[in-house]
A and B are shown apart, each in its own frame.
Chain A
Amino acid sequence: MILSPAVIALMLGSTAVGLLALYASAWSVRILRYWDLRSGNESQLQLEKRTYLVSTLMAWAFAFQVGSLFLFIFTAEDLHRLFVGAMCAAGTLNVNEFGYPTILLKVCNALLAGIWLIVNYTDNRASDYPLIRKKYALLLVITPLLLLETFLQGAYFAGLKANVITSCCGSLFGAEAQGPVSSLVGLPARPMQAALIASLAITFVSGFLFLLGRAWAGALFAFSSLAAFFVSVVALVSFVSPYIYELPTHHCPFCILQREYSYIGYFIYTFLLGGAIPGAATGALLPFRGIDSLQGVLPPVLRRLALASLLFYFLFSLLVVFSISFSGLILSAG
């Protein structure tokens, strides 16, 4: 195990989030079983006081959870110097079998944590806890994933040995890549460009229609904004990254985090998460528009979410267009 400050921070943070989630889950079960706002008995009033504490704790825990994704990426990037063969985070994550599952789970948990934060924020805007059962049910779904992440991340860091010879991103994300990555790398550029443009276009059009008051466009916007996140990540590996590297055979999604590329990767991933989380949260909140106490609360929240998602996807699009337009690389159709 390599005890760098960032590794210690991630381990402690992840353990704390896992323990808090377990504590919150115990209260979630009680809330799901016994919550009854019409009752004035002692246990109900106790739940009302406790939910304030639990949701406050979990709001901070989940804010850390979203941020920890970037700390994890930064740590993997920073540690690559210690491993023979590693040129960036791709090699560090490949040191043992827990690296890639950990980062995939961290992305999934960051999305879920972001959605939970927005549902919790909305619930707290209303006076009668209209989403309390929903947000604690969601918490029960997220808790096992957080615990699994704590385990995987712990196993990954525990298994980091400096004498391991790992693969560089050139072989992991290069033209000769093997396994599931090879299918991403080998995706033809032109259809992927079409898929990226289509998913972003649907997101923008449905988002603007939703902002203009077309309620039916909300569900399409939520779905397309989430789909655009995954399509964008695949497109990044498939055809965007070679433009940034100006190397047709290099598809690494991690080298873009390095100084040589102006840390552009951090901006790309921030914009993508910033687009996906509020977009998906719009979909999570749409079914509750009929609740009386949310009548004055939900419309402005949904508008702000849609606006934030569109803004982040616009910035992402701008960055991709800029990277491709000013790249010295010209890819032929394939």
Chain B
Amino acid sequence: MSLITLKDITKIFNRGRPDEFTALSDVSLEIEPRGLAVFKGPSGSGKTTLLSIVGCMAKPSAGRVFVKGREVTSLPDRFLTDVRRHTFGFIFQQLHLVRGISALENVILPAYPSGERIAALRDKGLRLLDLMGLSSRADTNIEWLSGGEAQRVAIARALINEPAIVIADEPTAHLDTKLSLDFMAAMGRLKAEGKTILFASHDPLVYESAMVDRVLEMRDGRIVAERRAS
């Protein structure tokens, strides 16, 4: 059974206005669990829009999305928030870490609404930072971390709610080759743990990586080609 099913997804921005733009057009897709899939394509091809719809951050104009067999596009926001919080972890192109607070506080921030005790959250956050090799930097404010360290804090933050699916939008766009390879190695570890990983990227270092199971090429809001790892 597929983990995520997209059925005839269309996304139109500014419908009926002069600047109407069709970002996705009739996209249907099934994503299996425990794999690493990359959506590649030029800027404006619909990769980010598709990932935000899969991650329940945006609703399509038409079509339905099923996550673990449950239809999620019709869900009112209060239910969607719960699905988003417990199913997906997000790593953004701009890391969106909060300046002025420590790495550990950034990591546990998305788990505050869960109501879990703060001591338990801190333990969980420290374990994740340790996995990322950052335990010595836990109390350091974000603005004092290097680019690679900040990237790993963002990964730890994406994992704090123990999501089944990790979504990353152009994760290596601001990283040099070494940091990009480190990032892919970290993703490889998550994949080995059984996480499903979805990337939007046009970086060959990402979509040509040996650990990628599936590459879906997008253009003009459609999936035009697909390659699976042999």
A interface with B by C-beta (< 8 Å) = 37, 40-42, 45, 48-49, 52, 124, 127-129
Contact = CB atoms under 8 A, between A and B. Distances in A.
A52 B76 contact: yes
B60 A45 contact: yes
A41 B9 CA distance: 9
A37 B62 contact: no
22 contacts: A40-B7, A40-B62, A40-B63, A40-B64, A40-B73, A41-B62, A42-B10, A45-B59, A45-B60, A45-B61, A45-B62, A45-B73, A48-B74, A49-B59, A52-B76, A52-B77, A124-B76, A127-B75, A127-B76, A127-B79, A129-B74, A129-B76
B74 A37 contact: yes
Contacts of B79: 127
A136 to B, nearest CB: 16
A127 B75 CA distance: 6
B58 to A, nearest CB: 12
B8 interface: yes
A271 B79 CA distance: 35
B63 to A, nearest CB: 5
Interface string B51-74: 000000001111110000000011
Contact of B62 (A42, A52, A128): A42
B61 A42 contact: yes
Contacts of B10: 42
Interface in B58-114: 59-64, 73-79
Nearest to B75: A127
A8 B74 CA distance: 41
Give the top 8 A-B pairs by smallest Cβ distance, nearest first: A40-B64, A42-B62, A127-B79, A40-B63, A48-B74, A127-B75, A42-B61, A41-B62
A127 B73 CA distance: 11
Most A CB within 10 A of own CB, among B10, B61, B62, B78: B62
Contacts of B7: 40
A45 B71 CA distance: 13
Contacts of A41: 62
Contacts of A129: 74, 76
Contacts of B60: 45
B8 A40 contact: yes
A252 to B, nearest CB: 47
A46 to B, nearest CB: 8
Nearest to A127: B79
A127 B81 CA distance: 12
Contacts of A128: 74
Contacts of A42: 10, 61-62
Contacts of A45: 59-62, 73-74
Contacts of B76: 52, 124, 127, 129
Given A40-B8, A52-B77, 16 more contacts: A40-B63, A40-B64, A42-B10, A42-B61, A45-B59, A45-B60, A45-B61, A45-B62, A45-B73, A48-B74, A52-B76, A124-B78, A127-B76, A127-B79, A128-B74, A129-B74
